[in-house]
Structure formats: structure tokens, C-alpha cells
Chain A
Amino acid sequence: MTADERPLVRVRGLRKSFGANVVLDGIDLDVREGEVTVLLGPSGSGKSTLLRCVNHLERPDAGFVEIGGDIVGYRRDGTRLHELRSRSVTRQRADVGMVFQQFNLFPHMTVLENITEAPVAVRGLSRKQAAARARELVARVGLAGREDSYPRQMSGGQQQRVAIARALAMEPRLLLFDEPTSALDPELVGEVLAVMQDLALSGMTMIVVTHEIGFARKVADTVVFLDGGRIIESGAPEDVLTDPRHERARSFLAAVL
């Protein structure tokens, strides 16, 4: 296998339980550079937890996540994996952007401050450089002129687009989306999906948890179907979405379509 064919993200044997509740039950997953992977499944199937394990917001009980050849959250020492100090995990996270269901913009900062905070603090950009880049990103998500607004002055769709710009400002190798449109009014969903589709076309590697089947069909390279903490179906969208083999996937799709 050459370096080019090696996937950017490799998830192997990932397990996670909260108390007696097994949320991830042995997940294996590859995401190649420039690919969009959509995770589908009923609520409680482990999609969000899987996503949170990828940038170590959640610590897996077993298994590992590898991004660009580095094990996330651990340092390998022969037969052992030592958990990394938070400072080292922080360095890994800087390369993985995340967009949340509830946007999680910082309400006490303007749009521009939200976007420039991390590039200045983590990447060491000057305020001026960061602000210039931030303005480009704000324009890219279609919000030019709103740089000095506070998040609460914006609609949910606008806030989520700012959140995407904030994640992009770190120039991540991988973007994670955790149900980015689930908290939005139906009429605002489209503007966020349009920005995401635009990103996918520009070659960004993305893992997206969503219930938007239309988006999965149009944009995804791979659709992964989770149920009960396992991957029960995985493949090209036209296969998984039109002709699911697994009964659980079939009933879920029938319910959401």
C-alpha cells in the first residue's frame, strides 16, 4: 500500500460504554483524503460518540483512531498506548475541526473574534493576519458585512455558517459535523447544507452525522449506517440508500424519507 492510498482516518475496534450502556461496539472505519463520509442511524446508535472519539472529546474504552498516521490521544510505546497529556491532545485537535449541533459559538465575542480566537492563540497568527483570513471565510460562507455582529443577533443558519468558518480558520485536515442542521428551522437548513456541499467540492475531508438523506445522496462518497454501536451497512450512497441489505437500515430509511 502506498502512502497515497493510506486513508487519512483509520478507526479500528473502537468501543465505548457509558456505565452499562454500550454505545460503540467495535467500529472499523476508513476515511480517505478528500472524501465525504456520512454517518446515518437512529438516535442512540453511537454516531455522535464515534465522531467525538475522532477528536478525543470522548476517550474510547478500547480500539484506536488514527489520523494521518498518528494515534489520537495516545503515544505508542512498544506494546502499550500511553494517554497523552491534554497539551499534546490539544495539538492534535487543532488539525481537526468540529461543527456542533448547537453551534457553540462564543456569545460574548463578535463573529470576527469567534473566528480569530484560535488561529491567534494556537497557530500564532497576528491579530491582523487572522482578521484578514477571517473576513475571507465570512465572505465564503455568505455573511460578508456581519463580522461585528454578536451570535445572538443572527439566525440559527447564520450562526452555524459562522461556526463552519470558525472551524475552517484553523485550516483543518478533517472536518467533523455533528448533526449541523438538526437545531435549525426547516427553511434555514438549505443555506448550511449549501456551504457544506461547497466545502466538499473544494476537496475537504469530512465526516458528517446527519439525518439529511438528500445531502447524503448528493454529496457523500461513503454512507455508513450505524445501529446499536455497530456498522451494519457501508458503501456508496446509491447502494446503501436505494437498496439497503439490512432490515434495520431499510426501516430507518423508510421512516426518514
Chain B
Amino acid sequence: MTQHDLSGPATAVPGHPPPDLTKPAPGRGPLHPLDSRPGDGELLAARLVPLRRPGQWISAGVLLVLFAMLVHTLVANDRFQWDVVGRYFLRGSILHGLLLTLWLTAAVMSSGYLLGIGIAAMRLSRNPVLRGLSFGYVWLIRSVPPLVQLLFWYELASLYPRLSVGVPFGPEFAGFGTAHLFSGILAAYVGLTLDVAAFSGEIVRGGILSVDPGQSEAARALGLREGRIFRRIVLPQAMPAIVPASGNLLIGMLKATSIVSVIAVQDLLYSTQLIYNQNFLIMPLLLVATLWYIVLTTLLSIGQYYVERHYARGSNRAGRPPARGLWQVARSNIPLFGRARTDLVGLS
């Protein structure tokens, strides 16, 4: 094509030269001489003033006032009885309850997730029996409130006074009474684990489905075995989708363990209840429990941030996870003062 051909469309639209013509290719002059108009110099020298956003400052002011009111009422209203809160915050029985809450959550989450991965694998398997089983399990567990489940396991003895192994309608090989099988704590562990298994199974399944099928295909073509493909190729790539939802579930479960107080398991909440049932300092003791839950949730959220950062490996062009601390991320996510971030990995 000749130069003449190229200039055709540009001359056909007078007054609207294509913008790229103003940047001549190196070693060659512009196709048209560039005109210069009288005001151009001033325009080039002008200072650029960004758009002012007064609404942001007004909303920030309103929010600050509301926040000050909240602080004021927390401090000025002595019915909160902060001195009582302080006195009980590190009390031995409270710390015992806290410990129980912590390890019950840990135990329930770890065994629940082990089962959950199995549930997800069954649901995604080629075997229709396993698929159906997994679907049925998730349907059933999700339909029953965890509190009802807890009571069910606790009261199992009233439904099945005796459990035995044998042929249906036939002889019985071995059996035992169930009256003392489920202590409160065991019922709590079993009931909550089954609950976590159903929910985590769905989370894991969602994560696995988010991985491009080309990945396992490529791994298969390399001769990797199915188990290794799952562990090394699919699961690490599913993690960015699994972690945020799992953080949610974990924090939810931390607080949901408080329902074990109904079957007299001495967790964090029940320990405070035992105290205020005697001294009637209900509000301050509930505040003790609340403050502990807030502390734990905060720690877990921070942990989640670092887990997400770990699994962001290789997910951006720079190759490394964003080299910014938690504080910078928190600050840049405050809508008023931070720039809008679009390049953050794993934060939503």
C-alpha cells in the first residue's frame, strides 16, 4: 500500500485527523503538517485540577460524629460496668471456657473439612451412587438446624437405647447400650462436625469447579495419577476460591459453638452464663464473652489475609503477591482516604 492510499480516509474527514497521525513514526515526517493554534501553549502549561468530591468529606464528618456518639455512650453509661468486665475478663473459669471453645472449633473444623473434601470428591465423581449419596447427605444436614442436630445426638439414647451389629432382621453379633455413649461434648463434636462437613463440601466443590478443566487434562497427558493431580494441580488452584468462604465458615463456627451451652458444655459463653446466673451481672459478663469473640475473630481475619496472600502465588503479572503489609491494604480499602484498588488479589 502506498502513502497516498493511507492518507485517503484522513483527508475525507476534514477537521478530524486521526489522533495517531500527530505522533509521526520514527524516521518519517507526519503525513500532514501539524497546525499550531494560538492558545496551545497556555493549554500545555495549565495545571490539572482534579475533580473535588465534597460529598466524601461531608459523609466522613457525619460518620465521625456518629462514632463519637458511640464511644461516648460506651464510656459514659456506667451500666456497662466496665470495671466488672475488667475483673472477669481473665478469670480462670472464663479462660477455661475460652480454651474449650478454641479446641472444639479447631477439632470440628479439621474433621469437618476432611469429611467435606470427601463429600466434594464424591459429588464430582463418575460414580452415580456416590454422587447421590453426597447430594443426599448435604441436603439432609443443611435442612436440619444445628441446634436440633446437637440435641438429637445428645438424646440418642432415647431413640436407640441399644446399638448392635448384626444382619438386618437376623441375628445380632455385638451390641452396647447408648445411655452414656454421647456426653455433651461428644454430641457437640459429632453434630457440629457433620454440619461443617456438609457446608465445607459445597465450598470445596465450588472451588474445584472454578479450576479450568484444561489443567487436569494437561496433567493427565503428562501421566500424573488422579490423586496427585487433585493434590498438586487442582486443589492449589481451587484454594483462592475456597479460602474466603472457609474463613467465613470458620468464624461462623467459632461463634456457633456457643450453642453447646444448651447441653451444658462449658464453653466461653456457658462459662459466663454460669457466673451471671449467680451474681446477676448479665450485661458485663455478656460483654466479656463478646470481647473475647471479637479478639478471636480479629486474629482469624488476619490469619485469613496471610493464607490468601500465600495462595495468590503466580496469579498476577508481577509474579509475587502484592508486597504490601496488612496496614496498607486496610488503609487503601477505607473508601474515603484510599485510592480505589483494582489490582488487589483475594480481597473483595
Chain A residues with a Cβ under 8 A of chain B: 55, 57, 86-87, 90-91, 93-98, 100, 102, 104-110, 117-118, 121-122, 149-153, 166-167, 170, 176
Instruction: Tell yes or no: B65 within 8 A of A by CB.
Output: no
Task: Report A-chain residues with C-beta under 8 Å of the C-beta of B236.
Answer: 108
Q: Which of B214, B228, B314 contacts A150 (CB 8 A)?
A: B314
B224 and A117 contacting across the interface, CB-CB below 8 Å: yes
Complex: chain B residue closest to A91, CB-CB: B223
Instruction: Tell me if B223 and A107 are in contact (CB < 8 A).
Output: no
Question: 10 A-B contacts, Cβ less than 8 Å apart?
Answer: A55-B221, A86-B225, A98-B221, A106-B219, A106-B237, A149-B319, A150-B314, A152-B314, A152-B315, A170-B223
Asked if B316 CB lies within 8 Å of chain A CBs, one says: yes
A152 to B319, CA, bound (A): 7
Chain A residues within 8 Å of B225, by CB: 86-87, 90, 121
* Cβ contact of A109, chosen from B217, B223, B311, B314, cutoff 8 A: B314
Quick check: A93 and B220 within 8 Å, CB to CB? yes
Residues of B within 8 A of A91 (CB): 223
Number of interface residues of B (CB under 8 A): 26
Min C-beta distance of B240 to chain A, whole Å: 9
With A86-B226, A108-B313, A151-B314 known to touch, is A93 a contact of B214 (CB < 8 Å)? no
- Report which of B217, B228, B317 forms a contact with A152, defined as CB distance below 8 A: B317
Tell me if B319 and A166 are in contact (CB < 8 A).
no
Shortest C-beta distance, B238 to chain A (Å), equals 10
Q: A93, B315: Cβ atoms under 8 Å?
A: no
Say yes or no: B319 contacts A98, CB within 8 Å: no
The answer to whether B22 has its CB under 8 Å from any CB of chain A is: no
Residues of B with C-beta under 8 A to A108: 236-237, 311, 313-315
Nearest CB to that of A169 among chain B residues?
B222
Assess whether B237 is in contact with A107, with CB atoms less than 8 Å apart: yes
A76 to chain B, nearest CB (A): 22
- Contacts A107-B314, A150-B319, A167-B222 known; list 12 others, CB within 8 Å: A93-B221, A97-B221, A97-B222, A102-B214, A104-B214, A106-B218, A108-B236, A108-B311, A108-B313, A118-B223, A121-B232, A150-B313
Q: A107-B237, A151-B314, A152-B315 are in contact. Are A118 and B215 (CB under 8 A)?
A: no
In whole Å, how far is A137's beta carbon from the nearest beta carbon of chain B?
14
- Bound CA–CA A128/B316 (angstroms): 28
In the complex, what residues of B have CB within 8 A of residue A176's CB?
Answer: 221
B222/A93 in contact, CB under 8 A:
yes
With a CB–CB cut-off of 8 A, which chain A residues contact B313?
A: 108, 150
Q: Which residues of B contact A122 (CB under 8 A)?
A: 222-224
In this assembly, does B249 line the interface, its C-beta being within 8 Å of a C-beta of chain A?
no
> Do A98 and B314 contact each other (CB < 8 Å), given the known contacts A118-B224, A170-B223?
no
Residues of B within 8 A of A107 (CB): 237, 314-315
Task: Give the chain B neighbours of A105 by CB distance below 8 A.
Answer: 218
Q: How far is the CA of A176 from the CA of B221 in the complex (A)?
A: 10
Chain B residues closer than 8 Å to A86, beta-carbon distance: 225-226
B233 at the interface (CB under 8 A from A): yes
Measured between beta carbons, the chain A residues less than 8 angstroms from B212 are: 104
Binary per-residue interface labels of chain B (202-244) against chain A in the complex, 1 for a CB within 8 Å, 0 otherwise? 0000000000101101111111111010001100110000000
> A94's contact among B218, B223, B228, by CB below 8 Å, is which?
B223
Q: Bound state CA distance, A90 and B221, in angstroms?
A: 8
- Within the assembled complex, what's the spacing in Å between the Cα atoms of A109 and B219? 13
Contacts of A55 in B (CB 8 A): 221
Contact residues in B for A102 (Cβ distance below 8 Å):
214
**Shortest distance between the CB of A147 and any CB in chain B (Å):** 13
Chain A residues whose C-beta falls within 8 Å of the C-beta of B237 in the assembled complex = 106-108
Interface centre among A87, A97, A121, A166, by most B CB within 10 Å? A121
CB–CB A104/B223 < 8 A: no
Please give, as numbers and ranges, the residues of chain B lying within 8 Å of A106 by CB-CB distance. 215, 218-219, 233, 237
Bound CA span A57–B216, Å:
11
Q: Which of B220, B222, B237 gathers the greatest number of chain A CB atoms within 10 Å? A: B222
Distance A104 CA – B228 CA, assembled complex (angstroms): 17
Chain B residues lying within 8 Å of A57, measured Cβ to Cβ, are 217, 220-221
CA distance A166 to B233 in the complex (A): 15
Complex Cα spacing A152 to B225, Å: 25
A93 touches B223 (CB 8 A): yes
Residues of A within 8 A of B319 (CB): 149-150, 152-153
Nearest A residue (CB) for B217: A57
Contact residues in A for B228 (Cβ distance below 8 Å): 121
How long is the Cα–Cα vector from A167 to B221 in the complex, in angstroms?
Answer: 9
A149 to B314, CA, bound (A): 9
The minimal Cβ–Cβ distance linking B246 to chain A, given in whole angstroms, is: 18
- Nearest neighbor of A152 in chain B, beta-carbon distance: B317
What per-residue 1/0 map shows which CB atoms of B283-326 lie under 8 Å from chain A?
00000000000000000000000000001011111110000000
Tell me which residues across on chain B come within 8 A of A151, comparing CB atoms. 314
Q: Which of B217, B314, B317 has the most CB of A within 10 A?
A: B314
CA of A107 to CA of B311 in the docked complex: distance in angstroms? 11
CB closest residue in chain A, given B233: A106
| Distance, CA A150 to CA B316, complexed state (A) | 9
Contacts of A98 in B (CB 8 A): 218, 221
